[in-house]
Structure 1
């Protein structure tokens, strides 16, 4: 599968010969080939990060593709990242998946349902049960909430949003402006992402030596547990946009916001190409940049619900890992690194674009598998970082395992580049 994924990235066809994959065929039980696909995405990032022999074990892949499950602080699990409202709920005509981990999304959901701010899970479920799923999905979106009706694969494919998602490439790389080649050196990566694909991409770049500076806006603080899990190896600061001086000093800018939401800050790839020629821009979204859902909020669990994966995996159910997020993150890191290499060879301002819905479409086109899988002991694939126990970066380079260069520290950095 690595050859297919690598070809989608536009990499050197000879490079996959440097990758060794070991371990059982299935370490994540699913009717979709999530072990093979997730392992290939990780392998692609390893190939793009080094010109040396690299390797990945499918047992480590199973751990890192659900790394959030293995986080510990002073030996204690911090609990689930998911709010109790973030679940499948029965509607009058089926199911809807709600996402309410952030308080402003939970507030929007209760407001649409006509509930008070302190309404509990039972009240939310009862209110949802009076709605049909698609009208509720639309109402929540229009109110700033986040949800996706649960559809079959055929229903999704027949919809305008599903048709747009199905036409998305797994990875898109394009040149959006002329620029001279930039000199080689340690990469500076400006990280404007959260949940989970973007942070996976940028922490992968950090594991391979980049100076990654993540910025969070003061009015939208990150969930503490999520920050711990997504920040190893990075520096983190809280600051307002725009950040022109930081963009000017960056080699790579990574954004994980809805298409169009950062346009007012002059952060479109085309605008950036004019002001900062030679920059590599990596954009990640839920639904892609085309079609009627392009500007909708979305998360991995919601894409699974909308595109039919949930009804293949259960009644409804979910993939054994948030593999749309994680695989998109590793593919995004690989695409960014390949774009940097191309920029340093021949110049240009490069844009790399991925979407969870495009990743889902690719996964759904692959042959289905037996859902049985071997159990994996996570212990060999974890490491200690200060008070935290966190999944190690995946893979080996020249036979040496990767490790995080620093522990997570949310908001503790000054928003400047290292000298």
Structure 2
């Protein structure tokens, strides 16, 4: 699978005008990072689709087309943005709890634990009956068979994944459910009059028209996939307001990396006042982006159908781990766990010839899913502009992973050199913020008339009021 073919698949699946594909240039070829998977093609295609969708929305606004180009090396830098983040020229920031990682079980299988949130770590330690630390955890896991521990942790609402081969994954009911879904879905869920984009877009400090100027986005997501979607919408000019709960955990470096271009507010959905605040915000929003498990927000009155009634014309974007259907739809998951469960980590290990499983050299499922979510949101906004309606966009890490696995393997892909921060100096820029001087990867898609950029520095959680500007 080449980047061009992957982009064509995305564009065609969304029902977009094929003529627009003549307005994009892609450069570079896999492997761009040490992996047997075509991660560069995934990165280039999903980012290019996002750039093209932004350019098309800008055309609706202005009547003018523009060219979009994506270099694979820049796309891969964007897919590793959290790894390259630096504060005040300091060392790389810690992204993982020490207990997170792979462990061998009693029956010779491997399991991955994900303990980056304190309550997930404490839950794992409680199930295992051991002290905190890799050695006590490893010793406790050697008393368990892999499949039994995987199921026990899942039943407890904790985050783990048994390392499976691709064939073992394909035999599971969840994999069969995912196989019945397309890469993403963009579905009309209600009637509403057309809402053309503003014909005289707001101009920002650089005097540039922005494709999404005037578009309001509520971003109810954390960690990587959902926040990357909101960040992509922000760097094309949307007014993105991130909503966090006061009790919800976060990972500090990801708040910084994925908070660029956004405002941040705190709303407590556990009480009536907080739900009222969110309803008020949603009533003035164009896009409602959420990455809760399927049905979680609907239980509080913020499902897609409820939002379509509250705000006819809303574009509701749902991001989840294992898909919205199937027995694992409620299972908690993260990028690395989906890699482990679906055979990606097993395949990378087999290619490397090592004993321990091995992940992709970036959080590719997270980032690709985030860009697909942003792409879907912009396609839905364009449809709303021409035909009206409320829309629901659905993506998942598992659907993205399945698509990547369909690209085929590079037999010598792991021989590619890793890429250091020094080697991507032209892909990063610094901005002063309340965290200090933040060095971050810049948008990879290059639009000839409306360059993508972050109009705001990252802000701490709750730095802004829960209202539209």
Taking structure 1 as the reference length, the TM-score comes to 0.96
Residue 297 (structure 1) aligned with residue 325 (structure 2): no
1:311–1:317: 8 Å Cα contact kept in structure 2? yes
Mapped contact 2:287–2:377 kept (Cα < 8 A): yes
In structure 2, what is the equivalent of residue 33 of structure 1? Answer: 38
Aligned to 1:81: 95
Contact 2:29/2:41 (8 A) holds in 1: no
CA deviation profile, 1:323-379 (whole Å, cap 9, x unmatched): 100001111101100000101111111000001000111111112224043554111
Equivalent in 387, 390, 408 of residue 440 of structure 2: 390
CA contact (8 A) 2:287 2:315 kept: yes
Match status 1:141 vs 2:146: no
1:197-226 CA deviation, whole Å, 9 max, x = no partner?
A: 101100000000000000110011422222
Give the alignment's Cα RMSD to 1 decimal.
Answer: 1.4
- Kindly state the Cα deviation for residue 6 of structure 1 after the two structures are TM-superposed: 1.6
Per the alignment, in what secondary structure is the counterpart of residue 50 of structure 1? Answer: helix
- Corresponding position: 1:104 with 2:119: yes
Query: 1:70: which partner in 2?
Result: 84
Distance in 1 (alpha carbons) for counterparts of 2:381 and 2:106: 50
1:267 aligns with 2:317: no
- 1:191-210 to 2 correspondence within 5 Å? 191-210=219-238
1:255-291 deviation digits (Å, cap 9, x = unpaired): 0011011122212111212222110001000001111
Task: Give the 5 Å matches for 1:340-355.
Answer: 340-355=381-396
Q: Distance in 1 between matches of 2:215 and 2:448?
A: 21
CA shift for structure 1 position 11: 1.8
CA displacement, residues 173-232 of structure 1 (integer Å, 9 cap, x when unaligned): 111111111242411000000121101100000000000000110011422222111100
Three-state SS of the structure 1 residue aligned to 2:374 is helix
Match of residue 380, structure 1, among 413, 426, 429: 426
Pick one of 387, 400, 410 that aligns with 1:359. Answer: 400
Matches within 5 A, 1:100-179: 100-116=115-131, 119-179=132-192
2:55 equivalent to 1:9: no
Query: Structure 1's 55 and 145: CA in aligned 2 closer, same or farther, altered over 3 A?
Result: same
1:104 Cα deviation from its structure 2 partner: 1.0
Question: Cα gap change, 1:341/1:401 in structure 2, threshold over 3 Å: closer, same or farther?
Answer: closer
Q: Distance in 1 between matches of 2:442 and 2:55?
A: 18
User: Any conservation in 2 of the 1:24–1:374 contact (CA below 8 Å)?
Assistant: no
Q: Is the 8 A contact 2:192 2:389 kept in 1?
A: yes
Q: 1:286–1:355: 8 Å Cα contact kept in structure 2?
A: yes
Aligned partner of 1:92 in structure 2 is 106
Q: How much has 1:82 moved relative to structure 2?
A: 1.1
C-alpha distance in 2 between matches for 1:292 and 1:322: 24
Once residues 344 and 324 of structure 1 are traced to their aligned partners in structure 2, the CA distance between those partners, rounded to angstroms, is 30
SS of residue in 1 equivalent to 2:193: coil
The structural deviation recorded for 1:400 is 6.5
8 Å Cα contact 2:242/2:265 also seen in 1 = yes
Q: Which residue of 2 aligns with 1:284?
A: 319
Aligned equivalents of 2:327, 2:172: Cα separation in 1: 10
Distance 1:366 1:407 in 2: 36
**Paired residues of 1:97 and 1:302 also in contact (CA < 8 A):** yes
| Range with greater deviation from structure 2 (363-372 or 223-232) | 363-372
Match of 1:402 in 2: 452
Q: Residues 281 and 468 of structure 2 are in contact (CA less than 8 Å); yes or no, is this contact kept in structure 1?
A: yes
1:223 aligned partner: 251
- Taking structure 2 as the reference length, the TM-score comes to 0.86
- Aligned partners of 1:105, 1:169: CA distance in 2, in Å? 31
SS, match of residue 18 in structure 2? coil
Whole-angstrom CA distance in 1 between matches of 2:15 and 2:94? 37
- 1:38 and 1:24 map into 2 onto residues whose CA distance is 11
